[in-house]
Amino acid sequence: MAETPAIHPLRQRMIEDMSMRGLAAATQRTYLRVVRSCAKHAGKPPGDLTFDDARAFQIELMRSGASISTINSHAIALRFFFRVTLRQPGARDLISLMTPPQRIPEVLTPEEVAAILEHAPSLKWRAALSVAYGAGLRAAEVCNLKVGDIDSKQMLIRVEQGKRYKDRFAKLSPGLLDLLRTWWKAGRPEVWLFPSRLSRFTPVTTRSLNRCFHMAKDAAGVDKPATLHTLRHSFATHLLESNVDIRVIQALLGHKKLDTSAIYVRVTPKVIQRTPGPFDRLQFEDKPTS
């Protein structure tokens, strides 16, 4: 029997470093791949990489037409490798991130959201997409919901291990609860609220949920360049337009920083339109004449 090749000590150390910090398996694979690609570009072993090698690798990514998000994700992986695994200070300062353009996210009107939900392929997918909008959940958070996460007594949805492995509560509205009860009576999910078609012991995938969103969007005739995540943006914007405090929206979305939630103030013109201007409160002794 052939022996399993030994893992290089530096690679093993990086895996342990990432595991100790709770990085997801997919993130770990990405970080390892980035370090391997940087070492290949520099033509030297990973342990011999320098900050100049990382910089040259970033420049090559830029020249090849890589997106800002791709370049930044590579930089974050290299920062981790240098700062944590190689224990070299200065990684944050010497491996820079590019500043992406600040674009206002696309938002659907309430009428467009209703049309999309009405054209969902089935009751299960309508319920799943309704949770994405009605509670402002991310795609992965919707897919990983369990039947026991729906608390009808307190009218809350428990979101376990959301982004950055944080638990939180989301709002459960009466209308959304009625829809979920209708789905439960029809589908009888046991563990996962939205089980996979292939096995009731596994949840639906984000890919399947995303595909159903676009099917519903096309069937509803909505031509905006919206994505599944647009439902979450629309949830926050519609709350803000209903005079919900931005700090409450921050908590519902699970944002760590208020600045992340504050972008929705720029999204909706209604908030700007109904804000009284300070000029109108000025008192002039002399009226201007024409």
Domain residue ranges in the chain: 9-94, 110-273
Question: How much is the pLDDT for 152?
Answer: 92
Query: Tokens 């910090």 sit at which residue?
Result: 21
Determine the pLDDT at residue 71: 94
pLDDT confidence of residue 262? 61
- Domain spanning 110-273 has what CATH number? 1.10.443.10
pLDDT confidence of residue 270: 64
pLDDT of residue 163: 53
Annotated active-site residue 138? The verdict is yes
Active-site option among 11, 55, 158, 163:
163
What is the C-alpha to C-alpha distance for residues 121 and 143, in angstroms, rounded to an integer? 16
pLDDT at 187: 93
Catalytic, out of 74, 217, 233, 264: 264
Question: Domain 9-94 is of which CATH architecture?
Answer: Orthogonal Bundle (1.10)
Q: In the prediction, which pLDDT does 227 show? A: 93
Q: Do domains 9-94 and 110-273 have the same CATH topology?
A: no
Among 74, 119, 232, 233, the one annotated catalytic: 232
What's the pLDDT at 23?
87
Whether the predicted model's global pTM rises above the 0.75 cut = no
Identify whether 29 is a catalytic site residue.
Answer: no
Of the residues 138, 217, 233, 238, only one is catalytic, namely 138
pLDDT at 1: 46
Ranges under pLDDT 70 in the chain? 1-6, 102, 161-166, 257-290
| Residue 285, pLDDT score | 66
Order the strands of the 168-171 sheet from edge to edge: 150-151, 156-159, 168-171
Query: Is 119 one of the catalytic residues?
Result: no
- Please tell me which residue in 146, 158, 168, 229 is annotated as part of the active site: 229
